[in-house]
Structure 1
């Protein structure tokens, strides 16, 4: 399988939604927003109830046998030939880029390759498969965008977030210094190297504030947790949201005083 040329299919009738651990445990609103945005585009969303971790924490820590055991339980969850949308470049990158290597030479190799070939990062899917058009109903605001390292480098979707945000007429997107730099989370990296991770996220917070952003959005919940947590602990004026939550709020919640379509 190769990503040299990413072929965008026609918009499908159904998709599988892979929710990720962090959305399940900490940011369910982001998962719900992703489902609502897909349904807004006329797509039926199927959520396999037995889904668990994609296996990335074990895999990136060098425990490939353990990662394979976790990942193997995901392979049978998507029996029909529908796209698998993932609201995370990190988990999406694991499934699309690393499952083929993880299962190479095993009885599950064909299944892993088939799953990997159907995985899409959700914002990429909304923009380039659904061709979503966003009518901004919110009040004017200014945001910075952080695209995760996995979304940028593994999934190749660094241009997607800016293109979605730039559709919103009342949103000013500011560019922080060195936007391509890691926020310092890196999954278990933040645990193994807390001092380095802490310095990186502090720099990320300050770069966003310096750019004039009172809030930020990001495509990955790990980055959201790291950046927003650092800002809150340091009492810095910066709040954050997953980009899916932000987009859904902008298109579904009219600004105060906007009575278009209101019923008496």
Structure 2
């Protein structure tokens, strides 16, 4: 099965190792992974800010970049949801709407693809730690994906996954929202951090780099020792043998 990786802007600029982890997990599951070089930003920041024409330019480039893909997989529920918004953007352009629909239908968030397309829930991963999970807004409310991450994590041996109170609440990132509405965003992420602390977890896991970047930034500013990891990192580290949160190198990466 051939898979084209949509790494996303945040993934490429701030979390390149997550793209590597996604690739290695998919290859472990027998997928052939490629990386279309023509991919750019999906256009979500412009679209969410009301700049439809500008976002349509980005959408057309993304449609072209992934035109030959069998499946498109991304480590971001938010960006996957944006690609599925493309058909609506081209309602008045039948030619591009058809192309947009084709892309939307073959696009999946990372965990969604593993569970719902590959039919895999247990990767045989081992990761010994106490963790909690943040459910991102777009993945939950726009993709309607609420089960795939938990199915995968429930089979990770040694992982003690504890519930996060009000896990359905937004972390306050929301892309441009965090920039335009700073006071409100700050209160929202502070509440999220409070609930994460209450779990007494060593690690906060998520499936959206935007959320993780926002929460991690606040944790760091408050001097909290909680590690933040994308679910792809947990699964990939876990596939390489037994791991324990205490086993870290000097850069903080779990060995």
Indicate whether 1:235 and 2:223 are aligned.
yes
Q: Give, in angstroms, the shift of residue 151 of structure 1.
A: 0.5
Q: Give, in angstroms, the shift of residue 134 of structure 1.
A: 2.0
Aligned pair count? 242
Q: Give, in angstroms, the shift of residue 103 of structure 1.
A: 1.3
**Alignment match, 2:108:** 120
CA contact (8 A) 2:39 2:66 kept: no
User: Among 153, 172, 184, which residue is 2:160 paired with?
Assistant: 172
CA distance in structure 1 between the partners assigned to 2:136 and 2:108 by the alignment: 15
**Alignment match, 2:87:** 100
What pairs up with 1:2-81 in 2 under 5 angstroms? 13-80=1-68
CA distance in structure 1 between the partners assigned to 2:150 and 2:242 by the alignment: 22
Q: Give, in angstroms, the shift of residue 81 of structure 1.
A: 5.4
TM-score between both structures, scaled by the size of structure 2: 0.91
Q: Give, in angstroms, the shift of residue 114 of structure 1.
A: 1.1
Q: Give, in angstroms, the shift of residue 136 of structure 1.
A: 2.9
Q: Give, in angstroms, the shift of residue 237 of structure 1.
A: 2.8
Listed one character per residue, the Cα deviations across residues 165-209 of structure 1 (whole Å, up to 9, x for unaligned) are 110120000111111100000000000101110111111111011
CA distance in structure 2 between the partners assigned to 1:236 and 1:78 by the alignment: 40
CA distance in structure 2 between the partners assigned to 1:79 and 1:175 by the alignment: 40
Indicate whether 1:141 and 2:129 are aligned.
yes
State the SS of the aligned residue for 1:91. Answer: helix
State the SS of the aligned residue for 2:126. Answer: coil
State the SS of the aligned residue for 1:204. Answer: helix
List runs of 5+ in structure 1 lacking aligned partners: 1-12, 257-264
Runs of 4+ more than 6 Å apart: none
TM-score between both structures, scaled by the size of structure 1: 0.88
CA distance in structure 2 between the partners assigned to 1:103 and 1:112 by the alignment: 8
CA contact (8 A) 1:147 1:161 kept: no
